[in-house]
Structure formats: structure tokens, C-alpha cells
Structure 1
Amino acid sequence: MLATNIRLVLRNMRRDKLNSTINIAGLAIGMACVLLIVLYVTDELRYDQFFSKSKSIYQVSLHGNFGGQPFKAYNTPPPVGAALQAAFPEVTSYTRVYRIGNAVVHEDGSNSTKSFTEKEILAVDSNFLDMFDYALLSGHTTGLQNPHSIMLTESAAKKYFGTTQVTGKLLRLDHFADPFVVTGVLKDVPEQSSIQFSMLLPVAACEAVRHFSWSWVWCQMNTYVTVQPQTANKAAIAQLQSKFPAMVRVQAANAFKRIGQPFDEFLKKGGKWDFELQALTDVHLHSANIGSAYSNLGDIKYIYIFAVIALFIIVLACVNFMNLATAQAARRAKEVGVRKVLGSQKGQLVKQFLTEAMLYSFTAALVSLLLVWLLLPLFNTVAGKQLQFTAMLSNGIWLLPVLLTLFTGLLAGSYPAFYLTAFNPIEVLKGSAVFVKGRGGQLIRNGLVVFQFTVSIALIICTVMVFKQLQYARSKDLGLQKDNVVILPNAAKVKGDVNTLRNNLQQLPGVTAVTVSTGVPAKDFSDFTDFYVPVIANVKEPLSKDVTLSSFITDEYFIPSLQLQLLQGRNFSKAFDDSASVIVNETTVKQVGWKEPLGKYLTYPGGNNQVFKVIGVVKDFNLQSLHSEVVPFALFYTTSKSYDINTAFVIAHVQGTHLSNTLQGIEKNWKQFAADVPFEYSFLDQDFEALYRAEERMGVVFGIFTTLSILVACLGLFGLSVYMAERRTKEMGVRKVLGASTEMLVSLLSRDFLKLVFIAALIAFPLAWWAMYTWLQDFAYRTSIEWWIFVVAGVLAAVIALLTVSFQAIKAATANPAKSLRAE
């Protein structure tokens, strides 16, 4: 019976090539989209799953409120891990990670000239590789016991030494006086690791960590703990976390008192200093609202979005199949009627139609695999991934094409199978069945078309809104000059006085202004953040409200170089002793509550209660992306020595013309002052662009899948238009004989479809508005959802539908009426 059904299906496919092609193409595109999205989603969900202890590892996060500014961050103080292990038996071990920032690394050899700027060097506790069992090529997990040992990844070893046989060789880092001995080589860090690095060295080598080992407010480390197996669940973790505040109150008291902020007083002011545990396997996708130095974090909401898109597209493809099958009901129903009269049972006929659908689905699955293989490189470029086609053979993904074949075959074939086999054979052969005279089949087909275009219109609106928000981010006045601004990192490594380099660059043709600063906008964690105490006058009592300030230490050229707007007061100047001066932004003034900020004072408890006088107020400007609100911010003068974070940037505002020559001049001067430091630069506008890379990728992916959903919908619409034109052949002939023009006939055939698009638009508009309104809440500064976007989406869908239908409509309308009237 199965072989007979397959032969019948193949015969029907050959007889109706157009309908078969549309069905297979629609299903294949839908399946290919699903497979690509599943590859993406499974790759995202696999992050940090490969560690043997992954289920028991938790990252410590800090949830605080300092100076009226609530925050969440993965940055934690040095003692927290040891305190958790000592206080709670549920915590079995801890390890810490300290990111030392950019470092220039040299191969320590007399004839070596190899030096590179390394951005992914981690200082870790000696048990780091016990907790995180990255694969080793050589060495042992105990390789970081010695304070001057270092372990490299395979790529780093080859970059410096040309081989992975490097044990015992020396590397010199500019942050440290003594060289480091290579004690092991690790395989390159998997992409699915939220912790990325090229080198590991011991925390014991870092003077800053030793200096602040007592501090519960110097939050520059990432802390990880392992818990007992019975604790590794949400309920037990929540119960464990409920004990943390009492421990912190005891442990942190001396540290807070040491910086002039008694902990009990801090809490009474509304302060908060709590620690929570987050499962390591949740870090990659569930860190959207947590401050982090990680650069490879994802977002779970995009997983949900892509999963919904995949579902919609595969359903669209199945809808096409069902729509075309029911549209062809009149032709196939006579076949069913004859077979019933000849003795076929309903069950046999259902099996035939399901076999037909399954064969279509199987053929589409093969085509979809070919499409995935061809499109995967492009998809990787768009999504920023390195997905491999062979990944479908692992982790059960190979089952997906099989399940998709079964799912689409059953879903797409079930309705026509039961619909077509339900009619009375006598009525069918007489031509009086309900699907011929009634409106049930037409209503179902219309409903399916409405569903298809509802999805398509909603995706069009979402795509336009994503790019509109990106354009808003690019064009919004950030309160500073970002175009033609060159950023040179590693200025702290310049030999001698960096201001001499600044003065030389200032003299170059094409350079209009140059400044040196410890931080720069759009660079993660380049600003220094701590709390300050506002005072009314230098000798009076502090106000009750503290303020948390992000800040840069810079010179008098910073404001003109970035064209910040000075609203009140003056800029820094060599004519004054500005070592105890500070320039704040508008948000600081508002948060403190100053009506007249000039002449007011800020005390810095963390800096031996140094007092700074407010000499100026700048207009608010964005340090980071529009996801974040403008925070209280301050500029301190270079002579203040308020703090030392061992970073510096040269920021040069240049002319847009002859840029290549200007950059060559900058590089020449750089090599004179820092010959052993690689010359690197970026443009500030590009740095800001990079902050929206995730949204830009999402917009492109939205656009691709929107296009594919429209294509699938149009395939179905084209098939229906073919059917409608065939069904109304005689009508068209009669109308043409009676004087109807081609334009009138095309309008007649197209009008019904445009009505369906209009209904789809009415349904899609509120759904798309809700989806985009929700998405935009992630931005502190966002564009508006304007009415014209909905009109454009509706009109675009109507035009696409009209173009799809018009080809067949024109063909039918221009046919010879004599042939039309003779047609059966």
C-alpha cells in the first residue's frame, strides 16, 4: 500500500509541477530558517556547559546602592570569596579573577623584537584551573602556584614563540618588573566560555590586589564559588543568600569605617551592599542588567525572539501547504470521489494524503539541508558566530531535521487529508459538495492568508523599529564630539612625560586639539567610580546624602577636545592650582540637590578625605550607550592625584581631510616616545557604534527572516492566485466579452487579496507595537514609535501582495475570451 501511495504522489507531483515546486520551496525555506535558528540557539545555550563542575559553580554578583545610585555588577571586593567559604559550609571553594587591563607583552630574549598589546590577560587564584578545567596541552593545573609563573593559550604560545613547546621560556609584561616563566599551555578557550583569555598569571603577582585585600569597597575582581551538590538548586541558593547580609554586616564593618563610612550609618542612609549567587551556566544569557567586563555576553530575550520567529516561519510554510491543498480541493475531490466509489476506505485515503505530505516534507528537508550548508557562512557573518554544519550531527541536533520532516508533514498534510476525505462521493461527483457551493473552504483559506501577512507585517514593523533605534543612537546628540576623534590607548606606557607627546601631536597639521585622560567615553570600565560626600563648605558638616561619581583624571584640554559644553564656572587652567578642583555634570548637581553648585565641596573618603571644590558644571554627556542613563560624573585635574588606575588615553580631535597623513604623523610621534609599545588607535564614533553591535546584528537577522517570511507568504499567495485565476476562467471570458477592460479584470482578481492584507494589518499593528514598546524599554534613551511606520509596513505588504497576484491576474485578464469560454 505504501509503495502504491508513493507512486500516486510522484505522479501527482509530475502532473502539477508548479504547485509542487511552491509547496517544496515554501517548506524548504521554512525548515532552513528553523535549522539556522536552532543552530544559533543551541550554541548560545551551551555556554559554560563543558566544565565538569559547571552545575555547582556560581558567580558572585554585587547588588548595591551607593550614594543613591542602585547598581548590579559582577565586580566584587577581594575578601568576599574567602568570607563566604569560611562562614557557610555550603560553599566548598572559591577562586577569583582580576583583569589587569591592556598590557604590552615581550618575549624575554636578547634578540627578540616580538611585542604585542594583550587585552585578555587574567590574574587568577592558583586553584583557578581546578574549578575551571580548561583543556591543557602541557603543564598542570598547579602551574600557577609560583607568583611569577604564566600559562598561555595555544594561539598565544604560537604568536610569541612559534610553537606550543614553550615550558620554561620567559615573557615580560610591562606592568611587572620581573619576567614570568611559562609553566603550561592550554588549548584555545572555547567560544562557549563566558571567561575569555589569552594568558593566565597568578593574582599573587598583582600589587593592587594585595594592597586592597582588606577592602570591601574596592570592587575590581570577579569571584566564583562552588557549592555542595545538594545546594545547587534555586531554592537552596535562595536560602543560602538570605544569610549573606548578616555576614556582610560583620565582615565589611571595619572596611567601611576605614573609608569614613560606618556601615550602620551607610545602611540608614538607604545604602545597600548585598551579594548574590548566579549559576555559571546562566551568566552568558542572563546578565543584561548586570555591569560586567565580559565582552561575549548574550541576552536571553533574543533567544526567545528568534525561537518565536522560527516557529512563525515554519507555521507559515505549513499554512502554505494547507492553503494550496484546500484550494485544489475541487480537482482532488473528484479523485477522492472516484476512489471512494471504487471501494477505498476513508483511512486509506487519509494515509495517501499524509504520505503525499510526508514525501513533500522529506524532499523539502533535503533541500533545506542544502540551503543551510550554502547559507551558513553568510549567517555566521551576520550573527557573529562560528557555527559549523557538522554541529548538526552532535548533541541531538541531527534529530531536528527528522522531527521537522514528521512535524511539517503531519501538520501540513493533516488538514487536507481529513478535509478532502470527509465529503460524500455522490455529491462530489455531482459537483454539489459544500466546498464548491459553500464558503467554508474559502473562509479557511482567507484566514490562513491573513495569518501569513499578519506575521509578515509585524516583522516588517519590528525590523524598521530596530533600525530606527540604531539610527537614533547614531544621530542623537551625546553631548560631546565623537566624529574625527582618534583614541590612542596605552598612553600610560609612554616613556617620560606624556604631555610632551601631547604637545608634539598638537603641532601636527590636521590635529586641532589633543588631551590626555585616564578614561574615555565608550570604553567599558575606563572610568573610575567611587562615592563622595557633598559638603556645604570646606569646614562644615557633610550633607546627609552621598553621591557615587564616575570620573576621569584629565587636563585642561579635555573639554575643548571633546567639545563639552561648560554651563557654569570655568575649565581647568595652569593659571590656578586646580589640584583640589573638580568639574561635575548636571546630573551630579541634581542628585546632590545643589542650587548653586559653584564653590561647593566634595569630600573623598576613599582618598584620605581629600576635599575638592566645584569650579565648573558641564552639560550632561553620554559615557556609554543609550541603554544607560547619564550618571553623576566628574572631571579631576591631573595634579590632583585623587587616585591611580594606571591607565591613560591620548584623545586627538583631527580634521576629516588628509586623515591618512595625519595618522601617519601621529604614529611617527608615538614611536618616538613608546618605541616598544605597538601603535594602536580607534575612532570614537566607531567605539560608540560597537556598543550597539548586538542590536545591529538583531536588526540584520530580523531583516533576513522578515524577507524569508514574506517570500514564503508570497509563494502561497502566488499559488492561490493561480488557483483563483483557473477557477474564474469562464467568468473572465464572459466579462471580457461584455466589455470589461484588462485593468478592471486585474482589479477584480486582486481586490479580494488586498482586503485580506488590510485585515492582517489591523491585527499586526497592535501586536508589533506591543513587541517594540517592550523591546525599547531596554534603552534609557529611545526613539518614538511613529504612526508612519505602520502605514509603510501595511502599504509595503499590500504592494508585495499586489505584485505577487498581478502577474497571474494579468495573464488571466489578457487571455483570449474564446479559449476561456471553451475551457472546462
Structure 2
Amino acid sequence: MLKNYFKIAWRNILKYRVNSLINILGLAIGLTCVILIGLYIQDELSYDTFFKDSDQIYRVNIDGKMGDNAFYAGYTPPPAGAALVENFPEIESFTRIYRPNADVVEAKTENGELVFNETNIYAVDANFLELLSYPLAQGDPTTCLKAVNSAVVTHQIAKKYFGETNPIGQTLFYGSEKQPLKVTGVLEDLTSLPATVKFDMLMPVENFGDVAYFNWSWVWLNVATYVKLTDQAAKDPNTLARLESKFPDMVKTQAAGAFDRIGQPYEQFLKNGNHWDLHLQPLTDIHLRSGEIVSAISDQGDIQNLYIFGLIAFFIILLACVNFTNLATAQAGKRNKEIGIRKVLGSPRSQLMKLFLAEALLYTLIAAGFAVLLVFLLLPFFNSLSGKTIFFTDIFNNGIWIILIGLILLTGFLAGIYPAFFLSSFKPVAVLKGGLTATKNGFLRNGLVVFQFVIAIVMVISTLIVFIQLRYIQQRDLGYDKENILVISNTETLRKSEDFFRQELAAMPQVKAATSSTSIFTKGSFGDFYLPQTNEANHAVAKDIVLESYLVDDHFISTLDLQIIHGRGFDARFNDSLSIVLNEAAAKQIGWVNPVGQKIRYPGGNMEDYTVIGVVKDFNLQSLHQSIQPFALFSNTSKSYDTGTSFITVKYKSADPKELLSSIENKWKRYQQDVPFQYSFLEDDLNAAYRSDQQLAKLYGIFTSLSIFIACLGLFGLVAFTAQQRTKEIGIRKVLGANVAEIVKLLSTDFLRLVLIAVIVASPIAWLAMNQWLQDFAYRIDIPWWVFVVAGTSALAIAIITVSIQAVKAAIANPVKSLRME
């Protein structure tokens, strides 16, 4: 019987070819979108799940508050991991990650010396590859990082330096000191690995004195710490809450000495309303559930995007199913005699329902075949848009193929269930007498058309707002000049020659100015907390304040066009080693009425007091996702800090910097032959901060376009069927003198009215959804009214074109043939 159902369904597909093509095309596009989105979601959800015992591993985060500055970060003080293992038997081990500054790596080969700047090197504890089981192609994870002079590299790095030679036992030379490192392990390709932390090279953390030096400190937050719970503790759902309830007492005991050392007794620190709390975050939650948790080493996404994509997938496949339902009920008039005869010959309603469901399933199976083919063809393009490395074979892994089969069956059921009920309910006597027409159930079809266009218009409005917001944050005044700015990295390797090199660059005719600083926008900063010196005269209200900072020379403010609003900037004519320039946010938070001349104490170092010599207008260090934080500029003559990094920022005149770059590189080689010349453009660095937003916006745009196309397919089919049902009416009207425009208006008016209703319904829904989405931006647009006008007008225009194609075709048909057919 089932074979017979499919045979009849196949005959109907061939009989109603236009209808079949529209249904298959709509379902194929819908399934293609769902499969691609499903692969994207599956990849996002798989992050860090490949690690052995991933359910027992947690990242230690810190929730801190100093004065008015609150933060949540995926970093810890260096001694935190050891203290947790020592104090809590539920925690069996820990490992740490420290990210040093970018440095030079060199290899001596038969073909000469190879030197590259490497920006993705991590320093880790010896047990790192035991606790986090990254796939090793060569080497022993238990021993490969135990020796201080060892290094583990990825397959790409091994090939980059040693070609096809076995890298194990080969020597790399690290940094300007050319520290020899013996390659003891080679990792497999990490490019497509769904891991929140990726790297090119690992070194023992003992190579970096900063970590060892600050092993006493509970305020130096520059390492990421991961801990592993015992198997028994991990199985107990109450372990996490129980542990975190004990952490405050442990921190109070462990951190007291460190806070005393920096002149901030911990008990007083807490009494001032501050806190310094540790929390455990499941490893598999880091990628999607980190929210506002700050981390420079973790690839942190947003689970909200998965919810959005999941809704898009649901609505797109729903649009395709609605198309099928609409077209199936619309063509009921053509199948009424078939249904009536089957009922007269004894077919029960259940049998007819199975027949129509089998027909819907056959449509879906054919569409699924085309969808899989489209996924195969489109996957490279999808990967380039989404920044993913998804393979076609992933469809057949991790149970995806089971979900795909379920999706096909569900789609077939959703597409066919209403037509099955509707068509099987016809009374045979009424059908054979001709008492049934396709206009029955028109209210439902109209409602489904409105529903389709509501979804499509909501997606259009949302996509427009996403693009407008991205354009706004890319064009907003950041508080400095970002155009024609060249950033040269690794200039700390020039040592005492750095300022001579900078002066040479500043003297070039193509260069307006050049400045040296420990960092530059988008490259990070160093942070610490300070004590504003309060008295009745200056009205300071902040007890302490956290400041992000750069060390800069006296050309920094003028080169970047920062605006001084009070006082002055650094000047070589003065001794500014104990001077500080604040931004507006810092001065406001402290509460000084007249900031210039006031003092702020650094409780670390030698308890220096820095005098405020100026206040600059607020400027953004990173993307506009984050609000402006209190910030300070220190003179590079200050002895309190040594970050070990330096950048030279060049403001140039020419629109085409190729010649300038060549000249600068030649000068660089005269000063520094061992370190490659490395540069970037500030505007490109800033745009990179929005790359993930741009990728998502492009995906939204594509899926929105496809949803409109699917909705128009259904509209196209409905107009075609309406025109066929009204063939005689159209013929009579033409004979009586109606022109083409009047016929087109006759067929179009009702459908365009439905689209207009959809615009009215969709607008408030889109406004509510996008207003919520915009909350994630510290700087956001006010949703403009014209977006709704543009979206509505576009939807109406597309609908007019779609309807007109069929309406004009019907209007220009020969009325004689139409009447003869009747």
C-alpha cells in the first residue's frame, strides 16, 4: 500500500509541474538553510567537548570591585591555582596559561636562518597537556613541557621552520636574547579544532620571570587558571555551590599579605564595599556563556546568536511548509473529483490522509536530496562568511544525520498534515456535483500569506538595524584620529635606538608625526589600582580607582589628536616622570572639581605620588561594545612600570603608503636585522574588532533574502492558481473591454493588501526584538523610523513584482482561448 501511495504521489508531482517545482524549490532552500544553520550551531556547541574529562575541568574567574570599578575576568592571580588545590580536596590539579608579548622566533636550517614574528605563543605549566588534552601528533604530554628549554609547536609552525624535517629535537631560538628551545612535541592541526584557546607554540611558564616574581601577588591578574575536580566531586551537582561558598574565607587568608604589601589592608578593602571573589566556570560553558567575562586568550562567543539562528532556521522551514500548505489547499479544486471518486469507491478518510502525507513526504525527500547537494556546493562560501571550518562530512558525524532524517520527516509531516485533513474532509456528493471550489478556506490561506510576510519583514527590519548599528560603531568619533595611522610592532627590540628610529621616521617628508608608547588602541593596556589623595578642597569622593594605562612619550597626544580639555600633556621641557594625564571618565569617577594639580598614589612600587597635569577628552581603547573606562597616560620616563612592550605609531600624509612602508622597512633593517619588520594599520585593527559582528550581519542578510524569496515563491504560486481559477472571469472582462492594467489590479489588490497587513504587524515585533539586541552595545543607535518605511516599501515592491509577473501573463492571454476552455 505504501508503495502505491508514493506511486500516486509521483504521478501528481509530474502532473502539476509548476506547483511541484515551487514546492520542491521552497522546501529545498528551507532545508538547505536549516542544515547550514544546524552545522553552525553544532560547531559552536562542540567547543572544548573533545577534551578528556571536559566535564571535570573549570576555569577560575575573578569577580572584583575596587571603588567604582567592577569587573569580571577569566584571569587569576598566579598563586590561585595552587591555593585551591591545597585547600580543597575536591580539586585535584590545576594548570595556568600566561600570554607573553609577541616576540621573535628563529631557526637555523640548512637553507639559512629563518626569523618570524610569532604573536600566538603561550607559557604554561608542565602539566598543561595532561589536564587539557590537545591532540599531540608527536611527543609525550606528561613530559614534553617539563624541561625549561622545551617547546611544543603546532604542525604548521613545525613545517614553517623545518619543512619536511622531523621537528622533534630541533632547536628554536626565542626572543631578542635568542634563548634556545628544544622541540619536544608537535600538536596536530588546531585550525579547525573547536577550542576556546588556540596557539602556535607552548613554552614552560618558568621562562618568564614575571609570573614567578608575582607569585606572592593576589592583585596581579595576568594568568588564566584551569582546575580539575575529582571524579566524585564532579558528579555531585552541589559541589560547585559548596566550593564557591568557601572561597571568600580562603581568599581572605591567602590574599591578606599581598594587599598589606600594596598598602591596602584586605579587611579595610572589604569594608569599603569592595570584593575579590573567585568563581568556577565549566570549561564547556566558556565559549558561549561568558557574557561580560573578559579574556584575551579565549574565543568567547554569545549563545544569544545561536538562539537567533535557531529561530531563523525554524521560521525559514516554517515558511517553506506554509508554502506547501497554501498551494495544496489552493489546488484543491483541481483534485476534488479525484477525492470524490476515491471516497465513493470506499476509501476511508484515514487512507486519504496517508496518501496526502506520503505525497508531502515525497516532496520533502526530493527537496532534501537537492538540499544536501546545495550544502555541498555552498559550504566553502558559508565557511568564508561565518569564519568556520565546517566539513561536509560533519553531516554524517555526531548524530547529525539522525537529526537530518528527523528533520525531513518532521518537515514532510508539517507540510502535509493540514492539506491531508483539509482534502480528506471533502464530502463526495458535494464534490461530484461541483459544489466545492478552491476559494473554500480562503481565510486560512490569506492568514498564512500574512504570517509568511510578517516573518520575512521582521527579518528585513532586523537585518537593516544590524547593518546600521555596525556602521554607526565603525564611523562614530572614537576621540582620536584613526585614519592614515601606521602601527609598528616589536619596537622594544630596538632598545636604546628606539627613539633615534622614531626621530628618523618623524623627519620623513611623508610623515606628519611619530610617537612611541607601550601599547596602542586595540593592542591591550596594563591596569592597576590607585589611591586619589583626598581633602576638603578637592572634594574627591573615590577611595580608590582602577586605571587602564599606557606609558607614552611627549608626542603621543598630538600624534593621535587627543583633545586636552584641562591642563597640558607631557613635555620634554619638564620632568614628567611623576606626572599623569587622566581621561574625563577617571576625573569624573574620582570626583575632583579641579583635577589639575591633584595627586594620585600608586600603592605598589615605592608608593609614588603622581601629579595630575592634564585631562584628555574620553576616547575608546577597544570596540564600542565596551563603555569608556577610567584611563591614564604615564610618561615613559616613569620608573614605576616596565611592560616590556613598545609600539611606534606613525601618522602619514599620503593616501597610498606603499612607498612609505618600503622606506620605513629599509630604515628598520638598518637598526634591527634580527627582527622582521611588522606593522598594521590602526583602521584595520579597529575593523577587526567588529569582524564577528560583520560575519553575523552578512549571514543574517543572506538568510533574510532567502526567507523573502521563499515567501515570494508561495505568493507566485498562489497568484498563478488564482489566475487559473478566474480564467473565465478574466476572459469575460477582457471581452467587455477591460484593459491589462485593470486585470492586473483585479488580481493584485487582495494580495498586496495582505502584504500591507503583514508590514503593520511586523513593525512592532521587529522594534521590540532589535531594541533588546541593541542592549549589548555600550554605544547604540536609536532605531530610526525610516527603517520600517524602507522595509515595508521593499516588501510591497517585491510582492508587486511577484504578483505582476503572473497577473500580466493572465491579463494578456487571448480571451477567446479562455472562454473556449470553459
Q: Same fold (TM over 0.5)?
A: yes
SS in 1 for 2:637: helix
- 1:787 aligns with 785
Match of 1:201 among 161, 178, 203: 203
Q: Does the CA contact (< 8 Å) of 2:331 and 2:438 recur in 1?
A: no
Q: Which moved more, 1:534-543 or 1:608-617?
A: 534-543
Q: Distance in 1 between matches of 2:300 and 2:193?
A: 11
Q: How far apart are the structure 2 equivalents of 1:153 and 1:318?
A: 47
Hey, what does 2:429 align to over in structure 1? 426
Q: Which amino acid aligns with 1:202?
A: P
1:755 lines up with 2:753 in the alignment: yes
Superimposed CA distance per residue, residues 147-174 of structure 1 (whole angstroms, 9 cap, x where no aligned partner): 2211212211111111362222221111
Aligned twin of 1:354: 357
* 2:216 alignment partner, SS class: coil
Q: Distance in 2 between matches of 1:543 and 1:815?
A: 83
Shift, 1:735, TM fit: 2.3
Alignment partner, residue 323 of structure 1: 326
**Of 373, 376, 380, which residue of structure 1 is paired with 2:379?**
376
The Cα of 1:63 is off from its aligned counterpart by 0.6
2:170 is the alignment partner of 1:169 = yes
Task: State the alpha-carbon separation in 2 of the partners of residues 668 and 445 from structure 1.
Answer: 72
**1:486-524 Cα distance to aligned partner (Å, 9 max, x none):** 11111111243211010011111211110000011122x
Q: Deviations over 1:663-691 (max 9, x none)?
A: 11111111112211111111111111111
Contact map agreement 2:521 2:621 (CA 8 A) in 1: yes
Q: What is the identity, as a one-letter code, of the residue corresponding to 2:322?
A: V
Q: Which moved more, 1:263-272 or 1:482-491?
A: 263-272
CA distance in 1, matches of 2:727, 2:753: 21
CA distance, structure 2, for counterparts of residue 109 and residue 267 of structure 1: 57
Q: Aligned-pair distance for 1:446? A: 0.8
2:475 matches 1:475: yes
**What residue identity is the alignment partner of 1:201?**
M
Identity of aligned residues (%): 50
User: Could you tell me which residue of structure 1 aligns to residue 346 of structure 2?
Assistant: 343
- Segment of structure 1 superposing worse, 588-597 or 676-685: 676-685
Moved more, 593-602 or 176-185: 176-185
Do the aligned partners of 1:555 and 1:638 also contact (CA within 8 Å) in 2? yes
Out of 233, 239, 261, the position equivalent to 2:242 is 239
Alignment of 1:185-200 (within 5 A): 185-189=186-190, 191-200=193-202
How many residues of Structure 1 are paired with residues of Structure 2 in the alignment? 819
Matched, 1:388 2:391: yes
Cα shift readout 1:601-628 (whole Å, capped 9, x = no counterpart): 1100123211111111110001111111
Counterpart amino acid of residue 673 in structure 1:
Y
Report if aligned partners of 1:154, 1:164 keep a CA contact under 8 Å in 2.
Answer: no
Where does the alignment leave 5 or more consecutive residues of structure 1 unmatched? none
Deviations, residues 287-324 of structure 1 (Å, cap 9, x unaligned)? 23111113632211111111110111111111110110
- How far off its partner does 1:234 sit? 5.2
Residue matched to 1:59:
59
Letter of the 1:180 partner, please give it. L
1:220 matched residue in structure 2: 222
2:451 alignment partner, SS class: helix
Report the Cα offset of residue 594 of structure 1: 0.6
Alignment of 1:539-688 (within 5 A): 545-688=543-686
- Corresponding position: 1:776 with 2:774: yes
* RMSD (Å), alpha carbons: 1.8
Aligned to 2:504: 504
Query: Do the aligned partners of 2:123 and 2:204 also contact (CA within 8 Å) in 1?
Result: yes
What is the CA deviation profile of residues 6-26 of structure 1, one whole-angstrom value per residue up to 9, with x for unaligned ones? 222222122211110000000
Indicate the SS of the match to 1:145.
Answer: coil
Contact 1:510-1:658 within 8 A present in 2 as well: no
Is the contact between residue 365 and residue 401 of structure 1 (CA under 8 Å) also seen in structure 2? no
Shift of 1:705: 0.2
Tell me which moved more, 247-256 or 222-231. 222-231
Paired AA for residue 527 in structure 2: T
Cα separation, 2, equivalents of 1:295 and 1:499? 35
In structure 2, give the amino acid aligned to 1:3.
K
Distance 2:640 2:537 in 1: 20
SS, match of residue 649 in structure 2: strand
Aligned pairs (5 A) from 1:30-179: 30-107=30-107, 112-141=112-141, 142-163=143-164, 165-174=166-175, 178-179=179-180
Q: Which amino acid is the alignment partner of residue 271 of structure 2?
A: K
Q: How far is 1:211 from its partner?
A: 0.6
Q: State whether residues 540 and 591 of structure 2, in contact with CA within 8 Å, keep that contact through their aligned partners in structure 1.
A: no
**Higher mean Cα deviation, 31-40 or 182-191?**
182-191
Asked if 1:11 corresponds to 2:46, the answer is no
1:498–1:538: structure 2 CA closer, same or farther, 3 Å change rule? farther
Q: Distance in 2 between matches of 1:399 and 1:552?
A: 54
Instruction: Please tell me the residue identity of whatever aligns with 1:198.
Output: D
Give the counterpart letter for 1:132 in structure 2: L
Distance 1:387 1:814, change over 3 A: same
Paired residues of 1:153 and 1:187 also in contact (CA < 8 A):
yes
Q: Distance in 1 between matches of 2:174 and 2:496?
A: 18
After the TM superposition, which residues 286-325 of structure 1 pair with which residues of structure 2 at under 5 Å, given as runs?
286-294=289-297, 296-325=299-328
Matched residues in 1 for 2:387 and 2:338: separation?
52
Distance in 2 (CA, whole Å) between partners of 1:20 and 1:540 is 80
Residue by residue over 1:243-290, the C-alpha shift from the partner in whole angstroms, topping out at 9 and shown as x without a partner, is 111111111011001001111111112211001000001111112311
What is the SS of the residue equivalent to 1:676?
A: coil
Question: Is this contact kept in 2: 1:57–1:279, CA < 8 A?
Answer: yes
**Residues 115/640 of structure 1: CA separation in 2 closer, same or farther (3 Å cut):** same
Aligned counterparts, 1:797-808, within 5 A: 797-808=795-806
Given that 1:510 and 1:657 are in contact with CA atoms closer than 8 Å, whether structure 2 keeps it comes out as no
Query: TM-score, normalising length from structure 1?
Result: 0.97
1:623 and 1:363 map into 2 onto residues whose CA distance is 53
Q: TM-score, with normalisation over the residues of structure 2?
A: 0.97
Q: Distance in 1 between matches of 2:273 and 2:534?
A: 21
1:184 CA drift (Å): 2.0
Whether the aligned pair in 2 keeps the contact of 1:67 and 1:531 (CA below 8 Å) is no
Query: Residue 566 of structure 2 contacts residue 614 of structure 2 at CA under 8 Å; is this kept in 1?
Result: yes
Which shifted more, 444-453 or 398-407? 398-407
Q: 1:110 to 1:256 in 2, by over 3 A?
A: farther
* C-alpha separation in 1, matches of 2:331 and 2:711: 18
Contact kept? 1:495, 1:674, Cα under 8 Å? no
Find the counterpart in structure 1 of residue 182 from structure 2: 181
Query: What CA distance in whole angstroms lies between the structure 2 residues aligned with 1:706 and 1:310?
Result: 11
| 1:791 CA displacement | 1.0
Residue number in structure 2 paired with 1:713: 711
CA–CA separation in structure 1 for the residues paired with 2:270 and 2:77:
18
Q: Is it true that 1:271 corresponds to 2:274 in the alignment? A: yes
CA contact (8 A) 2:469 2:781 kept: yes
Give 1:259's aligned residue: 262
Counterpart AA for 2:57? I
How far residue 368 of structure 1 moved from its aligned partner, in angstroms, is 0.3
Contact persistence 1:509–1:662 (CA under 8 A): no
Give the Cα separation in 1 of the matches to 2:438 and 2:568. Answer: 85
Offset at 1:593? Answer: 0.3
CA gap of 1:472–1:437, structure 2 versus 1, over 3 A, is: closer
Distance 2:3 2:186 in 1: 59
Distance in 1 (alpha carbons) for counterparts of 2:300 and 2:669: 35
SS at match of 1:242: helix
Q: Residue 110 of structure 1: CA displacement? A: 9.4
SS of 1:665's equivalent in the other structure is helix
Counterpart AA for 1:212: F
Asked if structure 2 preserves the Cα contact closer than 8 Å seen for 1:123 and 1:201, the reply is yes
Q: Which moved more, 1:550-559 or 1:742-751?
A: 742-751
- 8 Å contact kept, 1:122–1:199: yes
Relative to 1, partners in 2 of residues 1:744 and 1:110: Cα closer, same or farther, differing over 3 Å?
closer
Answer whether contact 2:107 2:172 (CA < 8 A) is retained.
yes
Paired amino acid for 1:645: T
For residues 411-467 of structure 1, the C-alpha deviation after alignment (integer angstroms, 9 at most, x for no partner) is: 11111111101111001111224x6575xx111111111111011000101110111
Unmatched 5+ stretches in structure 2? none
Query: Which of residues 364, 367, 370 is equivalent to 2:367?
Result: 364
Q: Distance in 1 between matches of 2:623 and 2:237?
A: 33
